[in-house]
Structure 1
Amino acid sequence: MGRFRSDLFYRLNAIPLHLPALRESDDDVLLLADHFLAHFGREYGVTPPPFTPQRRRALLSCSWPGNIRELKNVIERAVLLGEDNLAVSSEASTAGNGAAHHVFAAPGTMEAVQRIAARDAVKRFRGNKSQAAHALGISRKRLYVLLNGVEQLSSATKD
């Protein structure tokens, strides 16, 4: 286990291909980001806004050590949570380990973050709670619990 078949290696090695890292081609980063934005918008039934120039610069500043998979995951999260929640920090990639950090501005506890994500998902799916729960990967029951908490939080702040 964990060994590559030598006959297959020699067949594949007949024509060596060099594929550059994603960070080596700014045009590809933006092209792929736009593609994934449209793809996940269709998949989740939403129309995400196009990336702002500031977000494009942030995407280009990242080293993308995970290459296309990492970019794809970041864009999917942006579609699910709203592009305004996405901030790509290239500072962390220069901090030593080379890993890019994708930071979501979120207040307080994890419960508060989940409640805000639930509210945003329902809004994004125009009130369709089944789609919102599916997109978040939670049950409808859990979604309702989170939404009731959001309503309690917002009514408590009005008092």
Structure 2
Amino acid sequence: MLTLTQDLYDRIVEHARKDHPDEACGIVAGPAGTGRPERFVPMLNAARSPTFYEFDSKDLLKLYRELDDRDEEPVIVYHSHTATEAYPSRTDITYANEPGAHYVLVSTADQDGLGEFQFRSYRIVDGVITEEEVQVVDSY
């Protein structure tokens, strides 16, 4: 199960809505080994695409150095789907290289009348997708 604060939930949703119609992406970092999402890190979708996201390689390198310096790890890796449900695509599965992370997908298809808003979380390990419950709390 993914447990995150209302503030983090709201910030992920706000980023997804702000970047619509392009996909938004980012991470939520937490202290290494805790599994607790704490620090919201929105990233730029270098692809600037409504159907695809890509972290900029320089930004990603900078992020991982910062995570190392702060003894943090990516607890949540998130992105949005702008016209489809919040379910991992084949590309998303290929990009899922953090076996300990929660992969959050936000569907903003409701903004264009193409579907309903969704916020869903998955574990993706060795290509296997497992949806998990999301619990939103006021604080930890």
TM-score range, shorter chain: under 0.3
TM-score w.r.t. length of structure 2: 0.22
TM, length-normalised to structure 1 = 0.20
Q: Which has the higher contact order (CA 8 A, sep 6+)?
A: 2
Structure with the higher fraction of residues in strand conformation: 2
Larger radius of gyration: 1
Structure with more of its chain in helix, by fraction: 1
